């Protein structure tokens, strides 16, 4: 979720359907202006005892954030209920470094022109945090879920929205707190040129999201034991909050577009409203009531554009629309796979011939088949059966062949004369072997690790 800094009483209020669709319409860009925004989270742990540090302890999460000032990052603060200001993010040329609920560290990268820039940005960030980590005695772990931590092993970060969300999660699902506290992801944000272009990219992205889940599956352990899944992080979303998650059947219906998305978002229950530096608990309330000036926690007030933008960030389907499209199906992982995720989606979605070919792969699937893929991929990985016969491994070969052609057609060349296709190599190897990252971890666990999951810390960044 985005980091909110200010609220203003001078903002125009949201009144019409045009107001509600404005963020999506304003996101339209000519192809020459399409950018790539990559987000990636990692777990932070004490090297000495593998404990997850708290926010305020010496050498803890706050100190980690503030140490980034050495590299030109500037703090973003949030007012706490006791009147103190907490540093909850850092702003810099490479985007924003922020905190997930239990101290997972996230880089929300800048919108960049090509994958060479994306991978360079990721490399700079990891070099910076590793340098700071060596001084503070902390390491960083690239997995989709904490392999050994219980919920009560983890400290909650002092961000106002997190308390509201954590209070609400158990009312609507069994695994929402695990989503908040114990998971990490990689995401990529991509542009579109028109409503029709958005719709096609949304449909392809949603249909192929289970393939991304399989390729990046990297969360096979819970509290020190195998959990029966390859991507338990992905499974968690199936029991988090049915009102704001899932495969969104209406996206594939005739007439889907900005207005239909706005109608969906109006029916997603609220979490909060941000006023005068503080988050007001509105969990479970209706944005439609807010539009009518009937929100119980702010009687008579109507929402602003910023309120609507906040609300757009509180739905968590496999693909999410704001003023860009977010691909949300992948587990967290190490450096090479951070670069591979945007390569996969850019290759499929940013070249018109590749997009057409990707749509041909999935256009005949029914909703029941798409739901089955979503349900099976977290457990079966590349062994997941696909509609029409074959497995997810076969689909992976076809999709990667399309992505290679799409990236080659983009012809974004670096100083060494290389195009962007090299960033797919780690996925090529996964598909060729038929083994996703989680299966390699499980092989190690049952083999040379002698069922000691702590050995996974050797896989730190």
Side-chain-facing half-sphere of 103: CA atoms under 13 Å = 29
Q: What is the pLDDT of residue 113?
A: 98
Distance CA 210, CA 369 (A): 11
> Does the structure show a pLDDT above 60 at 461?
no
Q: Top-level CATH class of 17-459?
A: alpha beta
Percentage with pLDDT > 90 across the chain: 94
Q: What is the pLDDT of residue 4?
A: 53
Q: What is the pLDDT of residue 405?
A: 98
* Mean pLDDT of all residues in 175-181: 98
pLDDT-based confidence at 200, cuts 50/70/90?
very high
Please report the DSSP string for 90-157 in residue order.
EEETTEEEEE-TTS-EEEEEPPBSSHHHHHHHHHHHHHHHHHHHHHHTEEEE--SB-SS--GGGSPPP
Distance CA 231, CA 330 (A): 9
Could you tell me the two tokens for 46? 């004490």
Q: Where are the domains of the chain?
A: 17-459
233-279 pLDDT per residue, tens: 999 999 999 999 999 999 999 999 999 999 999 999 999 999 988 99
Q: What is the pLDDT of residue 165?
A: 97
> Does the structure show a pLDDT above 90 at 5?
no
Q: What is the pLDDT of residue 295?
A: 98
Q: What is the pLDDT of residue 3?
A: 58
pLDDT-based confidence at 460, cuts 50/70/90?
low
pLDDT-based confidence at 59, cuts 50/70/90?
very high
Distance CA 209, CA 198 (A): 16
Phi-psi region of 240 (alpha: psi -120 to 50; beta: other; left: phi over 0): alpha
Q: Are 207 and 216 in contact (CB under 8 A)?
A: no
Closest CA to 166 of 155, 177, 157: 177
391-434 pLDDT per residue, tens: 999 999 999 999 999 999 999 999 999 999 999 999 999 999 99
Q: Is 226 helix (H, G, I), strand (E, B) or coil?
A: strand
> Does the structure show a pLDDT above 60 at 142?
yes
Burial (CB count <10 Å: 0-12, 13-18, 19+), residue 136? buried
Lowest mean pLDDT among 67-76, 316-325, 331-340: 331-340
Q: What is the pLDDT of residue 82?
A: 75
Q: What is the pLDDT of residue 10?
A: 77
Q: What is the pLDDT of residue 322?
A: 98
**Residue-averaged pLDDT of the chain:** 96
Q: What letter would DSSP give residue 14?
A: P
> Does the structure show a pLDDT above 80 at 9?
no
* Mean pLDDT of all residues in 203-209: 98
Q: What is the pLDDT of residue 81?
A: 76
pLDDT-based confidence at 8, cuts 50/70/90?
low
């Amino acid at each position: 979720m985005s980091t909110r800094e200010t609220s203003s009483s001078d903002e125009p209020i949201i009144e019409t359907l045009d107001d509600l669709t404005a963020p999506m319409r304003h996101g339209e860009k000519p192809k020459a202006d399409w950018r790539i925004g990559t987000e990636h989270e990692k777990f932070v742990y004490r090297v000495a005892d593998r404990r997850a540090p708290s926010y305020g302890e010496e050498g803890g999460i706050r100190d980690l954030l503030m140490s980034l000032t050495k590299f030109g990052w500037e703090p973003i603060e949030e007012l706490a209920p006791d009147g103190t200001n907490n540093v909850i993010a850092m702003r810099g040329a490479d985007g924003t470094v922020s905190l997930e609920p239990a101290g997972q560290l996230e880089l929300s990268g800048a919108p960049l022109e090509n994958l060479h820039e994306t991978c360079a940005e990721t490399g700079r960030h990891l070099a910076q945090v590793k340098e700071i980590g060596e001084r503070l005695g902390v390491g960083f772990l690239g997995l989709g879920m904490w392999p050994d931590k219980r919920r009560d092993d983890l400290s909650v970060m002092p961000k106002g929205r997190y308390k509201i969300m954590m209070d609400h999660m158990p009312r609507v699902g069994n695994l929402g707190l695990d989503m908040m506290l114990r998971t990490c992801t990689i995401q990529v944000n991509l542009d579109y040129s028109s409503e029709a272009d958005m719709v096609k990219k949304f449909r392809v992205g949603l249909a192929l999201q289970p393939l991304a889940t399989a390729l990046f599956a990297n969360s096979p352990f819970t509290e020190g034991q195998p959990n029966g899944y390859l991507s338990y992080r992905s499974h968690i979303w199936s029991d988090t909050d049915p009102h704001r998650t899932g495969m969104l059947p209406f996206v594939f219906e005739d007439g889907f577009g900005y207005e239909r998305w706005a109608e969906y978002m109006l029916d997603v229950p609220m979490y909060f409203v941000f006023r005068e530096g503080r988050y007001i608990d509105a969990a479970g309330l209706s944005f439609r009531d807010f539009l009518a000036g009937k929100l119980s926690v702010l009687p008579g007030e109507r929402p602003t554009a910023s309120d609507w933008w906040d609300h757009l960030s509180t739905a968590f389907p496999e693909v999410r629309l704001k003023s860009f499209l977010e691909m949300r199906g992948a587990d967290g992982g190490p450096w090479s796979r951070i670069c591979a995720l945007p390569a996969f989606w850019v290759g499929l979605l940013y070249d018109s011939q590749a997009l057409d070919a990707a749509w041909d792969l999935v256009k005949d699937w029914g909703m029941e088949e798409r739901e089955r893929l979503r349900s099976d991929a977290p457990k079966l990985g590349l062994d997941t059966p696909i509609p029409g016969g074959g497995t997810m491994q076969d689909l992976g070969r076809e999709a990667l062949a399309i992505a290679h052609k799409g990236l080659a057609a983009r012809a974004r060349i670096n100083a060494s004369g290389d195009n962007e296709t090299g960033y797919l190599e780690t996925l090529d190897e996964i598909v060729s072997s038929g083994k996703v990252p989680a299966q390699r971890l499980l092989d190690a666990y049952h083999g040379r690790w002698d069922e000691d999951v702590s050995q996974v810390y050797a896989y730190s960044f």
